[in-house]
Amino acid sequence: MRRALLVGIDRYDHTSDLGGCENDAHALQPLLSRNEDNSRNLDCRSLIGRVTRDELLAAVQQLLAPGADFALLYFAGHGRPVSGDVALATTDGQGNTPGVRFGEILEFVKNSPVSEVVVILDCCFSGGAGTVSLLADKAAVLRNGVSILTASRSDQTSDELNGRGIFSTYLEGALDGGAADVLGHVTVAGLYAYLSESFGAWDQRPTFKTNVDRLHPLRSCKPDVPVTTLQQLTTWFPTPDHEFPLDPTYEPDKSQSGLPPHPEHEEVFRQLQLCRASKLLEPVGHEHMYYAAMQNLGCRLTPLGKHYWHMVDKGYL
C-alpha cells in the first residue's frame, strides 16, 4: 500500500492568512493519486483550509501507521523557526506552540514500520527540517528510507505568486512529467534536480536530504522511449562502443535517394530517432541523423545510452 497526506493551510487564527496553499494541495492530489496512464498510484488524503495541531498530528500518525510500505507527507502553509527546529504552523498555533515541530514528525517517522517515507515541505524556513536537533545529535543521519525535500533553506522564506506557491507550481510540473527519466519514472531525486534548476541564485533555494539505497517512483509517466525499444539496444549495438551503420534505406523520405521503401529499416530508424531525442545515441560524422543516413555514416551510444545498454545486458530491463 502507498499512502499520501496532502496538507494545505491558508487560514490562521493568530497570524496572517495565506492564499495559495489550498490551491497547491488541490493541484497535486490528482497527479499523486493517478499515474499518467490513469492507473492507481498513491492513496491520497487531504487536510485543507483550517487544520489544528491535534488534527495534523493525528493525520501524520495515521499516515505512518502499519499497513503501508510507502508514505508521502506534503505540507504547504506557514513555517516558523523554533529553537533549532522548524514548526509547520497550524490554524490554532500561537506563541511557543505555532504548530507541529518537524522534530515531532521525525520521531513518528523513526518509529514507523513504513519502509519508505518522503516529506515535501513548501513553507518558509523549511530547510531547517534537514538540520533539526534530532538529526544533529546523530551526525545528521536520517533513518534508512527517508527523504526530505524542502522549498527553501532554513534562513529563507517561500514565496507565493498568483494564488499558488512558486515551489509547488514547479513541483506540479515536475510530477506531470517534467522530472521523469527516460523510463517515465519520477523519483524524489529527480524532483530535486528539476526544482533546483527552476530557481536562480538570488531566489529561494530548495534543499534535499535523503538516506535511501534505492529510489522508487513517486509517479509514472509515459516513457520517452518504450522499454521494448530500449531492449533493442543490445541488438543494434552488440557492444557499447559499436557504431551502427546507416544508409539511405533507413530514411523514410525516399524522394532524394529514389530508393524503394524499406519498412523494416524505416521502423528501426524511427526507434533510433526516439533514442536520439532522449540523448541515448548520436549520429557520427554529422549533426543530424537524416544526413548520417543519407551519407552512409552511422550512429553510436552516448554515455547515457551505454548506461541503458548495460541495464538491458544485465537483464534489468
Q: At what angle do helices 53-63 and 102-110 cross, to 10 degrees?
A: 20
Do residues 67 and 151 both lie within one domain? Answer: yes
| Extended strands (E) in 157-292 | 160-161, 164-165, 185-186, 207-211, 219-220, 243-245, 281-284
The three three-digit cell numbers of residue 123, written as one number: 513553507
**Residue-level pLDDT, tens digit, the chain, 317 residues:** 999 999 999 999 999 999 999 999 999 999 999 999 999 999 999 999 899 999 999 999 999 999 999 999 999 999 888 877 889 999 998 888 899 999 999 999 999 999 999 999 998 765 545 554 444 444 456 889 999 999 886 565 666 677 888 899 999 999 999 999 999 999 999 999 999 898 877 878 888 999 999 889 999 999 999 999 999 999 999 999 999 999 999 988 877 777 888 999 999 999 999 999 999 999 999 999 999 999 999 999 999 999 999 999 999 99
- Percentage helix, strand, coil, to 5, in the chain? 35, 25, 40
Residue 176: other Cβ atoms inside 10 A: 17
For the entire predicted model, the pTM comes to 0.88
Do residues 55 and 182 both lie within one domain? Answer: yes
Do residues 15 and 96 both lie within one domain? Answer: yes
Note down the domain range covering 294: 227-314
Last residue of one domain, picked from the residues 202, 220, 238: 220
The pLDDT score that the predictor gives to residue 157 is: 65
Looking at the structure of the chain, the number of domains it has is 2
Do residues 33 and 99 both lie within one domain? Answer: yes
Do residues 161 and 48 both lie within one domain? Answer: yes
Do residues 37 and 62 both lie within one domain? Answer: yes
The three three-digit cell numbers of residue 285, written as one number: 560524422
| Collapsed DSSP state (helix, strand, coil) of residue 39 | coil
Do residues 211 and 148 both lie within one domain? Answer: yes
Spatial contact of 155 and 204, defined as CB atoms under 8 Å apart: no
Integer Cα distance of 106 and 211 in angstroms: 13
Do residues 267 and 160 both lie within one domain? Answer: no
Integer Cα distance of 81 and 128 in angstroms: 8
Do residues 184 and 245 both lie within one domain? Answer: no
The pLDDT score that the predictor gives to residue 227 is: 96
Last residue of one domain, picked from the residues 220, 247, 272: 220
Do residues 161 and 251 both lie within one domain? Answer: no
Sheet arrangement for strand 97-101: 79-82, 85-94, 97-101
Do residues 84 and 163 both lie within one domain? Answer: yes
The pLDDT score that the predictor gives to residue 135 is: 47
Q: Where residue 139 sits, what CATH number does that domain have?
A: 3.40.50.1460
